[in-house]
Structures are given as C-alpha cells and as structure tokens.
Structure 1
Amino acid sequence: MTTTRRGLAALALLAATPAQAACPDMAAAARVAAALIAREPLTAPIAGLTPADAECFREGVVAHLAQPWGDVVGWKAGLTNPAAQRHFGVPHPLRGAIYHATIRARSGDEIPARFGSMPVVESDLLVRVRDDAINEAGSDPVAILRHLDQVIPFIELPDLAFAPGVPLDAAALIAINVGARLGVVGDAMPAEATTDFAGRLASMSVVLSQDGNERARAPGTVLMGHPLNVIPWLVQDLARVGRRLRAGEYISLGGFSPQIPSAAGVWRLRYEGLAATAPEVVVRLT
C-alpha cells in the first residue's frame, strides 16, 4: 500500500470512530504520520472526532513524527490570533508539540519551498523557558519575563496536511499537531523583565515580506492582547493533562498574521519597535 493510501485508510478509520471514543486507533495515527513524512496531502476529512479523540490522536502522531524530526523541544500555541479562532469556530488557542527540526534552521538558510504536503509561511516568535517557576508566574507580562531567558525571531513553516477543498476543523487541526513541522530562527535576544520591554512586545509591528514586498503586517497585541498572554493559557492547558513547562523548553507563540502558501523567494520577518535595530530572521525558499 502506498503512503497516500495508508493516509487515506487512516482517515477512513477516523471517520468510522464513534464520537465517544477516548482514543482512536493508534495505527491510524502512524499511517497519517507516514503520509506527512512523505509530504503527501491527506485527501479525505477527519470526521467525528471529539476534542478528547483529537488530543489522543495527536499524541500518536507526535510520537511517530519525533523519530525522523527529532526530540520534542517545546510547544506550539496555535490559533492565538482571534481572527484564526473565529475561522475555526473555537474561543481559545490549540496546543501542539515542536520538534528539534522546528528550530534547527538558522536565519539565512535555504529550504525547499515544498517542505511539506501543504506548506505555509507564518509570522511567529519564540521564547525559551528559564526555569520551572514560570508555571506559577501568573498573567503579568513582567512576572512571566522573569522566567524566560530568550526571545527569538522565528519564521514558522507549518504543514496544514490536507489537500485543497478538504474541510479542516479545529479537531482535525489538533489531530495533526496544529501543523507543526519546520521553522527558521534568528539571533536570540535576552528576555528583559521590565515594563519597557513588555510594552515593546505589545507595541511592535511584525512585518513579513517576500523578495522585498510586504506580505503581512500586524501589531504585537494581535496575539491575545499581548504575546505573553499565550503563556498563562499554555500553562493551564498543560496542567489540564498533568504537565508543566520545563526549563529549556521553547514556546512558539503563534501567528501574528494569516498563513501564506509557501512559494520560492527570500522571506524576511522583522519586529519593528522591539529594539533600536529591528530584530529579523530570513529564509530562502527554493
């Protein structure tokens, strides 16, 4: 059976899974993961998944993808932009895992434009956890910054997995690990636990361009009112399943602007107003 047929068989299995099932067949997760690794779009929808089904299925997908893509090194918060939440009909973000491969590429690297089955480019920002006390930091941005050690420019390169025309709802997005795949990181900045730095994170403009042409621009506040508001949500979501943020983990804070289909060119992401010289990250898609 080809990888595509394995992926379709996986989706057929999911469609037949009773809605009350707590965890679909993990063999189906393995087959979907194989299709993702092969960069073959899934051509049928995932039907009938409850949130619990989707989360359990995601764990199986992550386990299989971590073999070729490297250890899980942190977390991705998806749908942190209210417009994205409205599009998917959910009132909150979604959580995924990120891999070593997600943070391996460095600014200026060259990556194939077809790096996934349905590849897209996204304006993002990474932070790194300094210590476990972040789990008790609450919601104040300065208090959160005390427990971060790096703020890192980051172009995320997600894979939305499903072929054009196939419905993609929130449960399906959870099941494919919120599309986490690759990314490109710039030079890290120290996380300054000051009111001024917290204010700059909110007031900055995040600007994505392709070959010198601006493709998207958004304020820092587009992520839940402040980029660091993502972290208390993530802490609570992990606590719900008995997990905690750990020192050294990376957090992808989410998309400042809509995802753009991947295409060849030089993609540049700038954070205007975050520092005297705007931090940036660049990737050449070929």
Structure 2
Amino acid sequence: MRAVSIALALNACLAATMAQAACPDAAAISGFVADWEAKRPAKALAVANVEDATCARGKLVAELHGKLGKIVGYKAGLTAKAVQERFKADGPVSGVLFDSMILKDGARLPAAYGARAVWEADMLLVVKDDGINAVKTPEEALRHLSGMRPFIELPDLALAPSETLDGVQLLAINVAARFGVAGAEVPLKADAATLALLAETKIVATDGGGAVLAEGTGAATLGNPLNAVVWLVQDLAKTGRKLAAGDLISVGSFSPLTPPKPGQQITVRYEGFAGTPKVSVQFE
C-alpha cells in the first residue's frame, strides 16, 4: 500500500504541475538522468521560475523512482542563510530521498561519486506517525518525531560549472540529492529541553586527524531544525504529498558545501546529545 500511495502521489504531483508549468520535455529529463548516472556534468534544465522547476522535479523524480528504489523521505534544502545566499534564493526548496541514497555509517566511496560532488554536515529527523502532516509549530513537530540520526549529506551539484545553478535550478534537479551517510537513531523526547537542544547542539566536522573542518549549530536551519520540518510539511502539502511513519527528513546544511578529497575521512559529531553521536564517511 505504501508503494501504491507513493506512486499515486507522484502521478498527482506530476499531473498538477504539468498542467500549469512550462515543463522541460521528456528528452531533456532523460538527457539529464543519463548524464547524472554517468557522473558527467549536465546542462541546466530549461526552467524560468518555481512552477517550471517544480514540474521538472516531478518528472525527474518519476524517472529516478524506477532506478533508485523506494522513496524513504524528503530533504529541505536552502534552509541556512549562507546557502540561500550562495544559490541566490529567498527561501527553502524540497527534494526526494530514495532508499539507495542512504548509506551506512563508515561508508567508503569515491571522492568523485558524482559530477560535482560535495559534502555537508546535516541531520536526519525520523517521522513517528502521520500526525506530523498537521503540525504548525516546532513543538507540535517534535511530538511526531521518534529520533535524530547523524547525517553527512553527499549532494551532487551535477551541472557543468559554466551552467547557472541557482535556487530555481536546484529545485528542478531534486535539490542535488545523490547520497548521504546516516548514523544510528538517537531517540528524541517531546519536551522543552529537547526543543532547545536541537537548536543549540554544536555540530562539528573533523578530518581523520581530528582537525576541525567546519562547525555550526542547529539554529543554522531556520532557527531550529524543527522549523525545517514545519516548512517541509507545508511544502509537501502544496502538491498533495504527506509524510508517513519511518520517513526521513534531511533538514539542511550546518556547514559549507565542500568538495571531498581522495583519502579524506570526514566525521561529524553532535555535541550536547548523550554520548555525543557521530557519523563518518571515507573517500577513496
């Protein structure tokens, strides 16, 4: 039933957006996917506004759905001010996460895992129940989450450097989702202390020798990662999509988007949480 509901939601989203947007045609989408699979720098998709980009994302996700496994969650991108400025955007955008994108803690993969590979410190929040689809505040969102998972997202900016990659184009290419390395789930309590902790946690990225590469706090994502959840719920509702128990939510960047280096190990830790949870990836 879950697979059927996802397929119906994707079809509904695609039909709705195609009806009102100047969408890239099937050949353009297939060409982008061919380049994406081959890790070749791609041409930008022909999108002029958010409506066009939403339609393009719908077509792209529909084509990737048969290649990358089931949908396991969504990502809220451009939730940090610095990243919005980089991509000349005035607000967040959302993308889809597929099963094959989520790698285990300690994963090893080539530094050139995509056409324009970058890494960033992120965080996954795990949906507890479908009551999350009605939330309007961070406090309400917390009651419908079961836990947090440390997460190093591994996006692929995909386009050739000569192409323009702004917020609209990023939306069209599914917010550059490619891979991510996820740690074990840390249970979350629905209380004021956890609400504060999610905003105040210090998120530190280090290399294999322990040198600090980047650091930030949970507040970098719209003031609190839970605000990213509230925004995502509202954004998904615009195209008739809903979150379900077990879905993963990537809340956005806590560090600059940085190209990986061959032989580099990245570890991200979350200070303030019991046991200081962390997650690592090794680039080859």
TM-score, shorter chain, exceeding 0.5: yes
Deviates most, 224-233 or 132-141 = 132-141
Matched residue, 2:122 = 124
Give per-residue Cα distances to partners, 1:111-149, cap 9 Å, x unaligned: 1111111110010000111111111222133x2121111
Name the residue aligned to 2:57. Answer: 58
Query: 1:9 maps to what in 2?
Result: none
Q: Distance in 2 between matches of 1:221 and 1:247?
A: 25
- Paired with 1:46 and 1:29, the residues of 2 have a C-alpha distance of 8
Note if contact 1:101-1:181 (Cα within 8 Å) is conserved in structure 2. Answer: no
1:66 Cα deviation from its structure 2 partner? 2.6
In structure 2, the residue matched to 1:273 is 272
Local SS of the residue matching 1:124: strand
TM-score when normalising by structure 1: 0.88
Aligned partner of 1:81 in structure 2 is 80
Aligned to 2:16: none
**TM superposition shift of 1:91:** 2.0
1:258 match: secondary structure: coil
* Contact map agreement 1:127 1:150 (CA 8 A) in 2: yes
Sequence identity percentage: 43
Residue identity matched to 1:33: V
Kindly state the Cα deviation for residue 69 of structure 1 after the two structures are TM-superposed.
2.0
8 Å Cα contact 1:269-1:280 kept in structure 2: yes
Number of aligned residue pairs:
263
Q: TM-score, normalised by structure 2?
A: 0.88
Q: CA deviation at 1:22?
A: 3.2
1:14-44 CA distances to partner (integer Å, 9 max, x unpaired)? xxxxxx84322122111101110111111x4
Runs of at least 5 residues in structure 1 that lack an aligned partner in the other structure: 1-19
Please give the root-mean-square deviation of Cα atoms over the aligned residues, in Å: 1.5
| Equivalent residue number for residue 174 of structure 1 | 171
Indicate the larger mover: 90-99 or 23-32: 23-32
Could you say if the C-alpha distance between residues 34 and 274 of structure 1 is closer, same or farther in structure 2, counting changes exceeding 3 Å?
Answer: same
Contact 1:101 1:183 in 2 (8 A): no
Could you tell me how far 1:57 is from its partner in structure 2?
A: 0.9
Separation (CA, whole Å) in 1 of partners of 2:21 and 2:65: 25
Residue type of the partner of 1:168? L
Greater shift, 64-73 or 195-204, is seen at: 64-73
- What amino acid is aligned across from residue 219 of structure 1 in structure 2? T
**Which one of the candidate residues 220, 226, 235 is aligned to 1:237?**
235
Shift in Å at residue 224 of structure 1? 0.4
Q: Which consecutive aligned stretches of 4+ in structure 1 deviate over 3 angstroms post-superposition?
A: 44-48
